A = this chain, B = another copy of it.
Amino acid sequence: MNRQNVIEVEHICASTVPIFKTLSYGELQKVNSLIQKKEYKKGNVLFMRGDQANHLYIVRYGRVKLYEASKDGRQQIVRILERGDFFGELSLFKDECHLLNAEALEDTGLCLLPREDLKNLIRQNPEMSLSIMQAMSKRLAYSEKFIGDLTLKNVEERLASWLMVMAEKEGVSTLQGIRISINLSRQEVANLLGTTIETVSRKLTKLQSEGIIAIEGQKNITILDKKRLVLITD
Contacts and interface: CB of A to CB of B under 8 A. Distances in A.
Interface of A: 66-71, 74, 76, 78-79, 89-90, 92-93, 99-100, 119, 122-127, 129-130, 132-134, 136-137, 139-141, 143-148, 150-153, 194-195, 234
A49 to B, nearest CB: 10
B122 A78 contact: no
A140 B139 contact: yes
The quantity of this chain's copies bound in the complex is 2
28 contacts: A67-B148, A68-B144, A68-B148, A69-B152, A70-B153, A76-B148, A76-B151, A78-B144, A78-B148, A79-B144, A89-B133, A89-B140, A92-B133, A99-B141, A99-B144, A99-B145, A119-B130, A125-B126, A126-B126, A136-B136, A136-B140, A140-B143, A143-B144, A143-B146, A147-B147, A147-B150, A150-B151, A151-B195
